[in-house]
Structure 1
Amino acid sequence: MKILHIVTLHTPDHAFGGPTRVALNLSKVQRAAGDDARIMALGDGFEGPLPREIEGVPARLFPARHLLPAFEVSGITSGALLLTALRMMRGADIVHVHLMRDLVTLPAALLALASRTPLVVQTHGMVDPTENRVARLTDLLGVRRVLRRADALLHLTETERLDVNAVAAPVPPARTVRLVNGVRPQEIKPAREPGRPPTVLFLARIQERKRPEDFVAAMPAVLARHPDARFVLAGPDTGALPATLELARALGVTASLDHVGPLGHEEVLAAGRSADVYVLPSIEEPLGVSVLEAMSVGTPVVVTRTCGLGPDVARAGAGRVIDSRVGEDGKNALKVATAILELLEPETNTRTGQAAWNLVNDDFTIEAVTATLRRTYEDVARRSGDRVKRSFPRGT
């Protein structure tokens, strides 16, 4: 099967995060199974020529044109990408668009509809009801049409399904499929050696919505119990780093904080193995891949109830699920610190780490996810059986 994944952006520091990582993970397993899966996106921040391959997956990247700088990622585009996408669609069995309200994935999805190429849309929690006038205009001009006419709509959680339906109603239930994020199984890490200072990890885009300041604000209470603890702040800065580091200075905890910046995929797994607790106090997180990657090596997690993985973590005993609300910084910090301290207790750490590893291997392996996705593709292909494809055009 010939599968074209279209995402908005790929950068050297993986600043765009989730959708691109999901597309890469899916593509790697699909190619290993014999499918011809490829990725198309804008490329930005590279020195020299844009790569033709990402982690072994063939990629068509195009220089990002910042057409509407005020809208950041949503305002970048490339006419060459869209023209090439239309050409490649003619040789694809499935176009899988990782949709957001932007000038890449939305027009690409509309082109797939116009070319009558089977279209699978995955929204990653990025399309929900909003009062933003520009977003509502975008919905009117194209998003609703894509959601209503796509051959399949993939949602991470029931909340996301309801949100998408609220934007695009009516969406036929038969075309909606729950597809969780998945990661590759990993060996479970050994228990922490007695006497080794504990390490607490925040690994995500450093933006206000992820609440890195709650992570830093929790440090004094943890350090009061574990004065030698290390706190690792990892991930690309998307706006919140200066305020986060300034808070660390104001609290006098800079010496215990290691800011390591963005990490590659193998470095992400290594950071998870080195950590004793992973923390993501995000106010809203549909189904964080970074959370799954931490649990995949046996690291217990602290997440919020608004995280899509919260119910799974609570059910499995794979960490702690806390309430976290905007405007309650002091209360949030106390909740984060309490959860960290509980998970640093040796017996609790071992038990919850094993539960985290079991949870990923039972419910969130990339193989299980791609098996579900393959059945969806085949169902879409059957319903579109009169559209026979050949191969991707030469040179793509």
Structure 2
Amino acid sequence: MKVLHVVTLHTPTNAFGGPTRVALNLARGLRGRGVDAELVTLGDGFPEGALPDEVEGVPARIFRARHVLPRFEVSGITSPSLLAGARRLVRSADVVHVHLMRDLITLPVAVAALQCGRPLVLQTHGMVDPSDKPLAKVLDALATKRLLRRADAVLHLTEWERTDLEAVVGEGNLARPVRLPNGTALHQPRVRSGPPTVLYLARFQTRKRPKAFAEAIPEVLRHYPDARFVLAGPDSGELAGTLETVRTLGVEKSVRHVGPLSHAEALEAFRAADVYVLPSVDEPFAMSLLESMSVGTPVVVRESNGLAPDIERSGAGRVVRRPEDVGKAVLELLDDGANQAASQAAWRLIRDELSLDAVLDVLQDVYGTATRERSPASSPRSASGRS
């Protein structure tokens, strides 16, 4: 079986975050099971003529990103060469798995898959929700609604996300919804050593609320004067304000800004931390939280996070209702006994409920159903749920 994973963007600094990470994890996991999985995406930030042909061991067809509508940021990038070859690309696959958002890449490729009769699986990562924005309305009328109605399966992270998709497409019109949580591999649990370390690792953008992390630092320092705070991730407009908050609070000597990290570097950062804080609001199902817990590092999240119920139920960290409660939650988790208990709970949560293997089992069943329900003549080769 050949599966194309189509996602909007890949950059050297992992600027697009979760959707690309999920696509890579799934493709790499599928390849480990004998499935011919490839990545199709745009590349940005690479030297001219130096687009990679593989990412973390996954074969990749990466097209140079063209910023045709700069004011719309990621939604405004495209590639004429990818669009021109989209039908040929999808015809080469048994399943087209599109990590869908309202943009000029994933929407056209998904439409091409429908037109060519290829089994189409959509995964929206919380990126398609009811919107009154003019561009969203236009794209919904042209493509989004039709895709959500006619795909072979629509993967959602939470019931909240499924409800949002129903609101976009009309109640009862969503094509075969399947809950598929994000998953990750288990990693060697970290061992605490040295002064307490608290980590923020995410894009610096308004929704992620990095300033809430910075504002919690003085409260933690009052109890742990030697504590260290690490700021990591690409800038999406909030870095300068976050660093200014750090300076205004007079805590810059305790803070280290390390910028964007590779996946391997991110795992090391999670392993070196005692607590990982992601104070973002309306976060669907952050991969960074899974990877932190996969090494046994407890987490602090807001209650609107899609993983908050799992974290609270399992004891894998703390869930806060208000940004001003972040400092108190971090202090609770820096206690040796509480940290050890939360660390073990986090690792068990990944092992028992959110492992990549469990996710792949569900995904291959989805692929199998999609290919069986299509006419055999529509597939370029024999297809089955497991390959």
- With normalisation by structure 1, the TM-score equals 0.94
2:355 match: 365
Judge which range, 296-305 or 81-90, deviates more. Answer: 81-90
User: What corresponds to 1:262 in structure 2?
Assistant: 260
Q: 2:148, 2:175 within 8 Å by CA — same for their partners in 1?
A: no
Cα pair 1:148 1:169 within 8 Å, conserved: no
* Cα drift, residue 131 of structure 1: 1.9
Query: Paired residue for 2:300?
Result: 302
- Verify the 8 A CA contact 1:98 1:123 in the aligned structure 2: yes
Give the Cα–Cα distance (whole angstroms) in 1 for the partners of residues 247 and 59 of structure 2.
Answer: 44
Q: Is the 8 A contact 1:148 1:170 kept in 2?
A: no
Could you tell me how far apart the structure 1 residues matched to 2:138 and 2:82 are? 23
- Counterpart in 2 of 1:3? 3
Q: How far apart are residue 38 of structure 1 and its match? A: 0.3
Q: For 1:115-168, what per-residue CA distance to the aligned partner results, in whole angstroms no more than 9, with x for missing partners?
A: 111100000000001121221221111110110111100000000000001001
Partner of 2:385: none
- Determine whether 1:183 maps to 2:174: no
Question: How many Å separate the matches in 2 of 1:19 and 1:63?
Answer: 18
Question: C-alpha displacement at 1:85, in angstroms?
Answer: 2.6
Which amino acid is 1:315 matched to? R
**Displacement of 1:170 after TM fit?**
4.0
Letter in 1 for 2:8: T
Alignment match of 1:249 (pick from 247, 250, 256): 247
Q: Within 5 Å, which residues of 2 pair with 1:179-258?
A: 179-190=180-191, 192-193=192-193, 196-258=194-256
1:115-154 equivalences under 5 Å are 115-154=116-155
1:69 alignment counterpart: 70
Deviation at 1:26, TM superposition (A): 0.3
Alpha-carbon distance, 1:187 to partner: 1.6
Give the CA deviation at 1:174: 6.8
Deviation of 1:84 (Å): 2.5
**Distance in 2, Cα, partners of 1:151 & 1:171:** 15
Q: Does 1:374 align with 2:364?
A: yes
1:389 maps to which of 380, 384, 387: 380
- 8 A Cα contact 2:151 2:175, kept in partner: no
What secondary structure sits across from 2:16 in the alignment?
Answer: coil
SS in 2 for 1:358: helix
Contact 2:180–2:362 (Cα < 8 Å) also in 1: yes
SS, match of residue 159 in structure 1: helix
Cα 1:82–1:360 change in 2 (3 A) is same
Instruction: Tell me how far apart the structure 1 counterparts of residues 266 and 86 of structure 2 sit (CA, whole Å).
Output: 31
| 8 Å CA contact retained: 1:91, 1:390 | no
Give the C-alpha shift of residue 220 in structure 1: 0.5
Q: How many residues align?
A: 380
Identity among equivalent pairs (%): 57
CA RMSD of aligned residues (A): 1.2
> For each residue in 1:186-225, what CA deviation from the matched residue of structure 2 results, as whole angstroms up to 9, or x when unmatched?
12122x24xx210000111111100000000000010111
In structure 2, distance between residues paired with 1:211 and 1:343: 20
CA-to-aligned-CA distance 1:2-57 (integer Å, 9 cap, x gap): 00011000000000011110000000011111111001111000124100000010
Contact 1:129-1:163 at 8 Å conserved across structures = yes
| Structure 1 runs (4+) greater than 2 angstroms displaced | 170-174
User: How many Å separate the matches in 1 of 2:381 and 2:362?
Assistant: 24
Instruction: Identify the residue that residue 45 of structure 1 maps to in structure 2.
Output: 45
Contact 1:18/1:289 (8 A) holds in 2? yes
SS of residue paired to 1:218: helix
Using the TM superposition, name which of 210-219 and 168-177 deviates more: 168-177
CA distance in 2, matches of 1:377, 1:249: 51
Cα displacement string for residues 297-322 of structure 1 (whole angstroms, at most 9, x for unaligned residues): 00000011111000000000001001
Alignment partner, residue 283 of structure 1: 281
Distance in 2, matches of 1:357 and 1:390, equals 40
Q: 2:248 is matched by which residue type in structure 1?
A: A
Amino acid at match of 2:296: G
C-alpha deviations, 1:316-363, integer Å up to 9, x for none? 000100113xxxxxxx2x300000000000000000010001001111
Deviation at 1:171, TM superposition (A): 4.5
* Residue of structure 1 equivalent to 2:92: 91
| Partner secondary structure for residue 3 of structure 1 | strand
Q: Distance in 2 between matches of 1:287 and 1:280?
A: 11
Deviations 1:360-387 (A, max 9, x none): 1111111110110000000111101422
The one-letter amino acid of 1:2's match is K
After TM superposition, give the deviation of residue 173 of structure 1 in Å.
6.4
Deviations 1:86-128 (A, max 9, x none): 1121121100000000000011111111111110000000000
Taking the aligned partners of 1:131 and 1:120, their CA distance within structure 2 comes to 26
Match of 1:394 in 2: none
What is the alpha-carbon distance in structure 2 between the residues aligned to residue 72 and residue 171 of structure 1? 32
Structure-2 separation of matches of 1:180 and 1:361 = 14
The separation in 2 between residues aligned to 1:87 and 1:390, in whole angstroms, is 15
CA shift for structure 1 position 390: 3.5
Aligned to 2:321: 323
Q: Paired residue for 2:21?
A: 21
**Partner in structure 2 of residue 328 of structure 1:** none
Seen in structure 2, the aligned counterparts of structure 1 residues 96 and 211 have a Cα distance that, compared at 3 Å, is same
Q: Is the 8 A contact 2:64 2:79 kept in 1?
A: yes
Distance 1:111 1:323 in 2: 43
Q: Match for 1:88: what amino acid? A: L
